Structure 1
Amino acid sequence: MRIISISTGKIAPLFGIDHPDHRMVNSGIKKEIVSSLDNPISIKVRTVGLDGDEQADFSVHGGLEKAIYAYPSEHYPFWNELLNREAKRTSPIGFGFVGENLSVEGFFEDAVWVGDNWQIGDVELEVVKLREPCFKFNARMGYKGASKAMIQSTRSGWYLKVHKGGNIKAGDAIIVTPGRREMSIKEQNHFLLRKESQKDLF
């Protein structure tokens, strides 16, 4: 289990489908790879997240409880097939496109548990909760069914809290220490799917 790439992004205007009033909204969802397996640059991890990363709305991403967003690299074939079929997207999306900071290898939502601790070198992180997508995710993906697809497929990724900062880079191994393991990220997905508010994702 390891980091495949690290991505950060600045707050920027986001235009696209499925905005509440079809106007521009600011978002930090557009990430660029800053550390890859081919170019494993060291990135500083602080209590509030990665150096160079910004969030426009701390209620959905950022702050101490949602400092870093991790996403399985193995999910990208699913998204490329879906976007090609449903949104007629011909160019594939790559790591960081769904807004994650860490594209990771060897993790899936059914085996990632709230409270698990991650050790990456000297850095210590804790799994906090799943990502709840909204209209900004639909706009980013260019497909208004993207949020619904993320939750229904249980391919949500998860947020991490920083207990100890330091430096990380692509290729670094991730050592997991189990927490209480009372709820997995996949189970959180199922609870979210059953919520009445799920209709807001359409």
Structure 2
Amino acid sequence: MKIVSVNRGEAVPVQWRGKTIQTGIYKYPVASISVGETDVLHDAVVDRRYHGGVDKACYLYGEDHYAYWKEKYPVLDWKYGMFGENVTVQGFDESEIRIGDIYQMGTSLVQITRPRQPCFKLGIRFGTQKVLKEFIQSLRTGVYVRVLENGGVKAGDEFTLVKRNEEGVSIKELVQLLFHNKEGAFDAILAKAIADPLVTEADKAEIAK
């Protein structure tokens, strides 16, 4: 897989339900980024209850998904970073990448941690809150990573698998457990996710409901 864009943003004011709030969802391509333990250097993280931190230090999204969304929202001003991702990756497939997998990303080393659960700020960037449901239904969620080794990332760098979590669930499987179906054919996947120490406790609590 190849990195086609790296993206950062500043906190900008937006209107939400009659109030002015700040958001870092507006990210745009830059020459390079530096990833650290809890966030991307110089990238706005407005609300650390839901963004940033060890398990959400950097957000990745698939470049291949852009065509799907451009067809649904053709009038938007399309640039990489549209989903608030820090890293846009070509060849990224949620059905193949597993929670706990470790990748070389530029000079950094990262571990796959959690799928994206979108909030209203994605809806603000898209101009409609209906995109939140569409985002979940599409299973094109992208993923957060934990940074094992700090480093730099730029467009053209490879995103290379270093170690596979052989018994892990895929991003797609975990999203299905979180938002879609927890019964029947998913029983074995549910048991595997609950038993995996690399699935976050927050996600385990949600899928166990």
Q: Is the 8 A contact 1:80 1:92 kept in 2?
A: no
TM-score when normalising by structure 2: 0.80
1:184 to 140, 152, 170: 170
Q: In the alignment, residue 184 of structure 1 is paired with which amino acid?
A: S
Q: Is the 8 A contact 2:110 2:145 kept in 1?
A: yes
- Aligned equivalents of 1:181, 1:8: Cα separation in 2: 33
Q: CA RMSD in A?
A: 1.6
Q: Is the 8 A contact 2:116 2:141 kept in 1?
A: yes
Give the match for residue 120 of structure 1: 105
Q: Is the 8 A contact 1:123 1:165 kept in 2?
A: yes
TM-aligned CA deviation for residue 77 of structure 1: 1.1
- Aligned equivalents of 2:89, 2:133: Cα separation in 1: 22
Give the match for residue 80 of structure 1: 70
Residues 20-67 of structure 1 deviation map (CA, whole Å, 9 limit, x = unaligned): x342321111102103xxxxxx43222122221121112222011101
1:14 equivalent in alignment to 2:10: no
- After TM superposition, the runs of 4+ consecutive aligned structure 1 residues lying more than 4 A away are none
Residues 61-86 of structure 1 deviation map (CA, whole Å, 9 limit, x = unaligned): 201110100000011111111123xx
Which runs of no fewer than 5 residues in structure 2 stay unpaired? Answer: 182-209
Q: How does 1:47-58 map to 2 (within 5 A)?
A: 47-58=37-48
2:85 to 73, 97, 100: 100
Give the match for residue 54 of structure 2: 64
TM-aligned CA deviation for residue 91 of structure 1: 4.2
Paired residue secondary structure (2:55): coil
1:23 equivalent in alignment to 2:2: no
Q: In the alignment, residue 187 of structure 1 is paired with which amino acid?
A: E
TM-score when normalising by structure 1: 0.83
Equivalenced residues, count: 180
Give the match for residue 157 of structure 1: 142
Give the match for residue 110 of structure 1: 95
- Aligned equivalents of 1:135, 1:49: Cα separation in 2: 21
Q: In the alignment, residue 105 of structure 1 is paired with which amino acid?
A: Q
- Aligned equivalents of 1:175, 1:23: Cα separation in 2: 43
